[in-house]
Amino acid sequence: MKIIHTITELRAELAAYPSAPAFVPTMGNLHEGHLALIRQARLLIQGSGSPVVASIFVNRLQFGPHEDFDRYPRTLARDAELLDGAGCDIVFAPDEAELYPEPQGYQVQPPDAVANLLEGEFRPGFFTGVCTVVLKLFNIVQPRIAVFGKKDYQQLMVIRRMVAQLALPITIVPGDTARANDGLALSSRNGYLTDAERVEAVNLSLVLRSVQTAVSALRSAGGQTSPILVELESKATAQLRDRGWLPDYVALRRQKDLLPPTASELIGNEPLVTLAAAKIGKTRLIDNLEI
């Protein structure tokens, strides 16, 4: 496996391969969820002679002024060892001056309909930063496949739409959320948790599972005996708040566009997803479950 820090060197290295790579963009501080995406990418290009490329770059543009950009862990040496063991061929690890040699005045502004709800409501500008860096990485790496984890569910949807609307020749492949044995979604930010907070953190996934169970019961009952959408969301939010969390949202949405389902969709067969973002202590966690 090669570790490459410049765009020029990366393009020269990729030119030696017979076909375009599979790509997994990350911000580093890797865990098993990232490695599962690398292994998934490896299977997708098996036998093609294509490389698997992972990027490691902590993208300032997607952090708000009071978020954790400065303290986000930079663990390149450890990350490289993990990526090598997972089957990655090339790690692209540019510094900020390499990726942004001048202020990034040209930025990708996703439409409000996807960028200003849920995560976008609580993290203004987040998806502009995400789309800008991902498009730039796509232009540098020129992948034919890119793998993104479902844990960042809204991000996956936003990237898919960007690729479709800009007619990029890239297939976006989702990767399932990796979880600890107790059900907590793996996240680089889990490392911020104290021991007590780590024990409590599993309740984020348990609350989402309670919403999932309530929707299943609602559908089985034909919508006659179970709570309506607002009550489902309010009850789940209260469960977290009562345990000492500070919830930003617990939402039940359609998978296709993350808009609220209609009454008929809620009790019918419309694919749904329940999503949550909440702080425990000083750490903000997100998670989701498809229904």
pLDDT digits 0-9 by tens, 69-91: 988 989 999 999 999 999 999 99
Q: Are strands 145-149 and 2-4 parallel, antiparallel or unpaired?
A: unpaired
So what's the pLDDT on residue 225? 53
What phi and psi, each to the nearest 5 degrees, are found at residue 260?
-65, 140
Q: Is the pLDDT of residue 224 over 80?
A: no
Both structure tokens of 198: 């780590």
So what's the pLDDT on residue 37? 98
So what's the pLDDT on residue 66? 84
Residue 255 half-sphere exposure toward CB, CA atoms < 13 A: 10
This prediction's pTM: 0.94
Q: Is the pLDDT of residue 120 over 80?
A: yes
For the chain, what is the mean pLDDT? 95
Distance separating alpha carbons of residues 197 and 181, to the nearest angstrom? 16
Distance separating alpha carbons of residues 259 and 118, to the nearest angstrom? 10
Q: Is the pLDDT of residue 47 over 90?
A: no
Catalytic residue ranges: 34
* C-alpha 148 chain-centroid distance: 7
SS3 state of residue 246: strand
Helices (H), the chain: 7-14, 32-44, 76-86, 96-99, 112-115, 119-122, 126-141, 153-165, 195-220, 229-242, 263-267
Instruction: Render pLDDT for 225-279 as a digit per residue (tens, 0 to 9).
Output: 556 888 999 999 999 999 999 999 999 999 999 999 998 899 888 999 999 999 9
So what's the pLDDT on residue 65? 87
So what's the pLDDT on residue 167? 98
